[in-house]
Structure 1
C-alpha cells in the first residue's frame, strides 16, 4: 500500500460515519453495581475487521473476564479490544472479581459489512489486457485494492464503467463484459454484476440476458424490477426477475453521462435535454429542454435536480423534480462545467455548494444561493504527476472533501497515478493522497450518496 502521510487527517471527520445514530460524543459507561463498561470510542456500530475498544470501570485490584456472546474467556485485562468478521449484534460482557465478590455488566455492538460505508473507485482497467476492478477507501482511510476480487475470487467485466447502490445491493456495469475491446474472450463475471453492498459477495451476474446492448456505460436502479441501463442506442429497462430487457421509446441520444435518481425517477442527460424515466414505463415520461448542451445531471440534497449546461454563458440550473419547472439558473463565467471526454457529470454537489473542474486540474466552487464562483486550487501545484484528469471530480456528501483522479500520462505511465482528496476548509488543502492504485478510473462513488 502506497499511502501518503497526509491520509490520516482527511478521514478523522469521515470516521464518524461508522457510528450509529445513538452514538454520543463522550465514552459511555454501561453497567450496574460495582462494574461498568466504558465504550472508549463511543461507537455502537463497527465495520468488519475494525476495532472497538472497551474499558471496565471497577474497584482497584479487580480481575476481569470478558466474553463475547457468552462464549469463553476472551480477555482478562481491564481493556478489551473487539474485532469481528461476523455481521450482526454481539453481546460483550465483563465480570469483575474482587474480595471474593463477582459483578457483571454487558453491552451490545453491531457489526456491519466492511464496505457499507466508504468510498469506491471503479477502475476500467486496460481494455485489451485486463478486467475492471474496484478500489475501496474506508472511513478511516484504509485502502483496499481489487475489493470485488478479494470478496469473490472472480473478476468484474472488461472496461467497468459505472455502479449504483440500491436496497443493500451494488450494481456494476461493464462495457465489454466477457470480451475485451478487440473481441477476445475474457474470464470474468460479465456485463452486469450484482453483489451485496456490505460484503461485495456476488448475488447474480447477467450476460446473455443483456446481449442486445451495445457498449453499455451506465446503470441506475429504481427497484428490484427496474434497472435502467444506458448504451449506445439509449436507455433500457431490465427486469432481473423476468430477465426481460426493454428499450425505452424516445430515449435515443441519451448521453454517456451518469444517471441521476430522485424520488423514484431517472433523470438522464441527452444533448440539450434531460430525459425523465419512471418505473414500469417503456416510454419517456418527459423530455425537458435546457436550451444548452447538458454536461451533468445530479440529484440535489433536497430531492430536486442540478443540471449543468455548456454554452455562452454556461449555466448551473436547479430543476423541480415534481413538475420539471426551473427553480433558478445561475450563469457560470469562471471555470468550466464541461464533462470533458469522460462519462461523469461536469458538476458535483454537497448541499448548496457545487464544484467543477471541466475535467481539468483547476477546481472551482460555486455557492448557488449566492451565485458566487471562486477558484479553489490547481491540483498540479500540490500533487506530483497530476497531468491527466481521468473522469471528473466528486465531492463527499458528508465531509465536503473533493476527490480527484489523475495520472502521469498514457502508455505505461497510467500506472503512475493519484487519488487526491482536498479539504478546502484547511490550510493544507491536500488532506490525503493515494499513489498508484487506479487503472483508468471510471468514477468516484460515495456510499452515502445512495442513501
Structure 2
C-alpha cells in the first residue's frame, strides 16, 4: 500500500509540474495589455496646443487613436518628441511641457511624470537601468544644454552632464554615449562621446552640418547630416552620411550629397541603409555609393514630406504631418517598395515604437 501511495504521489507531482509548466508557457503568450503585439505611433501634436497623442496599430492592421487619453482621462502634453522603452515601461519626452512621462507600454496607464532635472527634452536611450535624455535647456541659451541621467528604478534624475548646444539623437555602445549636436536654435556639426563610467565628454567628432539621425551597425556609427538650407540659415551646405569607427572614433568614410540635397531619417535594417529626401525613400548597401533612384515616393499618397520614418520587420513606416494642425497620416510599405496600407492618426506622427 505504501508503494502504491508513493507511485501515486510521484505521478501526481509530475502531473502538477507539467500543468504548472504548461500554465507558465500559456501565461507567457498572453497579451500584457490592450496594446501588446502592435505598433505605437507617437503623434507630436501642435506646438502650445497640449494635444500630443499616441495611436496604436494592432497585428490585424486595426487603428486606435488617443490611447493614452482614453486610459488616463487626460491629454499627453505639449509636443511629444520621442519615446523609449525600458522593460515594461515607456518613457516619453514631452518637449514643450518640459517633462518625461512614464507609462506602462502595454496598458498605457500612467506611472509617473519626471519634471525635476528635465528642460526641453528631445531623445532618450537606456542602458543598465539608466536612461539618458538629451535636453536643450532654454533654446535661446546656447550654454545650458545637457544630458539628464534617469534612474529607472526610482524614475528620478540622478545627475546631469553638460554638453554643447542642441543635443539630439543618442546611441549607446560599449559604455559610451554618442550625442548628435544638431544645434538647437543654432546649427551644429559635432558628435560628443561621453564615457558613461565617469559621465564626462571624452572626445568630439566633427561631421557635416546638422547631424540628424544616427545608427550603429557592426562597430560603426553611421551619422546622417542634413546640411544647412540657404533659405533658413543664409548658407547652403551639403548633407552627408559619415561612417565612424567606434573603436577609435575615427572617420572611416564620408558620402557627400550634392549641394542643395538635404536628406533625413537614417535607418539601418538587415544591412540596408534607408534614408529620406523630401517625399522619397532611398536605400543602399552599407558599403555602397549613394543611389540615384528612389525606392518609394509618397507624393503619390498626397504627402508633402516625410515627418516620421521607421523600418521594422520588413515594413517601412512613414508619418505624414500634412498641415501640422489636423489629423496626420501613416503609410506602410514593404521593403520592396510595395504600398500596403494607410491610417489616419493624431497630429504630426513623428515616431514608431514596437510592442512585440
Structure 1 length as normaliser, TM-score? 0.61
Specify the alignment match of 1:253 in structure 2.
165
Evaluate the alpha carbon distance shift between residue 310 and residue 193 of structure 1 in structure 2; reply closer, same or farther with a 3 A threshold: closer
1:424 deviation in Å?
4.3
1:281 deviation in Å?
3.4
Gaps of 5+ in 2: 1-17, 138-143, 182-187, 228-236
Q: Distance in 1 between matches of 2:87 and 2:155?
A: 19
Evaluate the alpha carbon distance shift between residue 323 and residue 152 of structure 1 in structure 2; reply closer, same or farther with a 3 A threshold: farther
Specify the alignment match of 2:319 in structure 1.
405
Q: Distance in 1 between matches of 2:120 and 2:31?
A: 35
Specify the alignment match of 1:276 in structure 2.
193
Q: Secondary structure at the match of 2:346?
A: coil
Query: Which of 103, 111, 121 is matched with 2:30 structurally?
Result: 111
The answer on 1:239 being equivalent to 2:147 is no
Specify the alignment match of 1:442 in structure 2.
350
Q: Distance in 2 between matches of 1:124 and 1:314?
A: 25
Evaluate the alpha carbon distance shift between residue 317 and residue 446 of structure 1 in structure 2; reply closer, same or farther with a 3 A threshold: farther
Specify the alignment match of 2:174 in structure 1.
263
1:302 deviation in Å?
3.1
Q: Distance in 1 between matches of 2:159 and 2:134?
A: 10
1:58-207 maps to which residues of 2 (within 5 A)? Answer: 91=23, 110-114=29-33, 115-177=35-97, 191-207=99-115
Query: Which of 199, 202, 216 is matched with 1:300 structurally?
Result: 216
* 8 Å Cα contact 2:194/2:203 also seen in 1: yes
The answer on 1:423 being equivalent to 2:334 is yes
Q: Distance in 2 between matches of 1:90 and 1:176?
A: 48
1:320 deviation in Å?
2.6
Q: Distance in 2 between matches of 1:156 and 1:252?
A: 29
The answer on 1:347 being equivalent to 2:347 is no
Q: Secondary structure at the match of 2:68?
A: helix
1:226 deviation in Å?
4.2
Evaluate the alpha carbon distance shift between residue 176 and residue 324 of structure 1 in structure 2; reply closer, same or farther with a 3 A threshold: same
Number of residue pairs matched? 314
Aligned-pair Cα RMSD in Å: 3.3
1:264 deviation in Å?
4.2
* 8 Å Cα contact 2:52/2:75 also seen in 1: yes
Specify the alignment match of 1:222 in structure 2.
127
CA offset digits 1:345-369 (Å, max 9, x no partner): x3122132122223x2122222232
* 8 Å Cα contact 1:315/1:330 also seen in 2: yes
Q: Distance in 1 between matches of 2:170 and 2:308?
A: 15
Q: Distance in 1 between matches of 2:222 and 2:279?
A: 22
* 8 Å Cα contact 2:131/2:149 also seen in 1: yes
Evaluate the alpha carbon distance shift between residue 372 and residue 447 of structure 1 in structure 2; reply closer, same or farther with a 3 A threshold: farther
Bigger radius of gyration among the two: 1
1:446 deviation in Å?
3.7
Q: Distance in 1 between matches of 2:108 and 2:64?
A: 12
Structure 2 length as normaliser, TM-score? 0.75
Q: Secondary structure at the match of 2:69?
A: helix
Q: Secondary structure at the match of 1:149?
A: helix
Q: Distance in 1 between matches of 2:26 and 2:130?
A: 40
Specify the alignment match of 1:378 in structure 2.
297
1:388 deviation in Å?
4.5
Specify the alignment match of 2:6 in structure 1.
none
Evaluate the alpha carbon distance shift between residue 205 and residue 332 of structure 1 in structure 2; reply closer, same or farther with a 3 A threshold: same
Evaluate the alpha carbon distance shift between residue 113 and residue 150 of structure 1 in structure 2; reply closer, same or farther with a 3 A threshold: farther
More helix per residue:
2
Evaluate the alpha carbon distance shift between residue 230 and residue 434 of structure 1 in structure 2; reply closer, same or farther with a 3 A threshold: same
Q: Distance in 2 between matches of 1:139 and 1:107?
A: 19
Q: Distance in 2 between matches of 1:321 and 1:117?
A: 34
Q: Secondary structure at the match of 1:357?
A: strand
Specify the alignment match of 1:317 in structure 2.
242
